[in-house]
Amino acid sequence: MSVFTPVPQPVLADWLRRYAIGRLVELKGISAGVQNSNFFVTTTLGRYVLTLFEDMPRAELPYYLHLMAHLARHGLPVPAPIADRDNEYLGTLQERPAALVRRLAGASEMAPGVEHCTHVGAMLAGLHLAGQSYGRRQDNPRGPAWRAATGAEVRDFLAVDERAMLDDELAFQAAVDLEALPAGPIHADLFRDNVLWEDGRIGGVIDFYFAGHDAWLFDVAVTVNDWCSHDDGRLDAARVAALLAAYHAERPFTAAEQAAWPAMLRAAALRFWLSRAADFHLPRAGEMVLVKNPDEYRDILRLRRGAVPPLPGAPA
């Protein structure tokens, strides 16, 4: 979440007349995140998050908004999108596609422990199971084709050893067979800052705008790489075990997933190394823009190319 496109308060106040959420009280830009322009919006009737979609094709956006509505109906702590007076989730503001969602309570936990990881694992399994009945399908926008294309875009900016690792990893991932892995809608970006906590419980799961149809195991790998890593990228065995056991208790891992687990941890690390490298080397202009250091996930990928803890039920 960043601010690439500013929104003047009078413009927003006029736009909000399309909704039954009261009058504008406060508008505040959100500096965290990297893809869209985001704002906290307070009205006389509630608190919301406004998103202006900067580069995402308008035709793709209903997938994300209706997925959030679907998961919220299933009882998951997901921000429900707000429909306008024409019963539409998606509008236009500042010549950008725009949407409002309810702002959830809580704060991110940036130093998670074992108990946090237990809650996250169980919640992620519930998200995957609830998503099975979602009727729309849209492939993961950061899937294999994107990774290959983005690798080509950033390759010349990398050091010689980094280019060698990138080439080798892309070739390795191209040979991985994903067809046998259970799949469905995934969050695809379940980092610590996208989970809100309140009184020791998960109060919200936010930022679904990288979601898509992919192997559930890829989603687990993205989550483990963030929630269960030490500052130097090494995995914390206790946090890994807690997250995976909680997930496995709700949706048991299959034999195919057990076999693919090391490759998925690598794929998840590769995806975020590439996206951060692209943001770093090919930046976009904006008013409040967060660019994250790609070296963190370069180093995580190097580590995941070695030995990793197995999934529950896998041979040691």
Give residue 316's pLDDT: 46
Give residue 225's pLDDT: 98
Q: In the Cβ-directed half-sphere of 186, how many Cα atoms lie within 13 Å?
A: 23
Give residue 34's pLDDT: 64
Average pLDDT for 257-265: 97
User: What sign results for the dihedral spanned by CA atoms 196, 202, 204, 208?
Assistant: positive
Average pLDDT for 209-220: 98
- CA-CA distance, 205 to 115, in Å (whole number)? 17
Give residue 302's pLDDT: 98
Residue 45 CB neighbours (<10 A): 12
- Residue given tokens 């890829």 in the structure block: 218
Give residue 284's pLDDT: 76
Average pLDDT for 243-261: 97
Specify whether the CB–CB gap between 7 and 98 falls below 8 A: no
What residues contact 213, with CB distance under 8 A and at least 6 apart? Answer: 137, 138, 139, 140, 183, 184, 185, 186
Tens digit of pLDDT for each residue in 268-302?
999 999 999 999 999 877 544 577 999 999 999 99
- CA-CA distance, 240 to 64, in Å (whole number)? 28
pLDDT at residue 1 greater than cutoff 50: no
pTM of the model: 0.95
Domains and CATH numbers, the chain: 9-102 (3.30.200.20), 114-304 (3.90.1200.10)
Specify whether the CB–CB gap between 51 and 22 falls below 8 A: no
- CA-CA distance, 21 to 175, in Å (whole number)? 51
- Residue given tokens 């169980």 in the structure block: 122
Average pLDDT for 103-120: 97
Average pLDDT for 93-107: 97
Give residue 33's pLDDT: 54
Tens digit of pLDDT for each residue in 47-69?
999 999 998 999 999 999 999 99
What residues contact 299, with CB distance under 8 A and at least 6 apart? Answer: 232, 233
Give the confidence band of 315 by pLDDT, cuts at 50, 70, 90.
very low
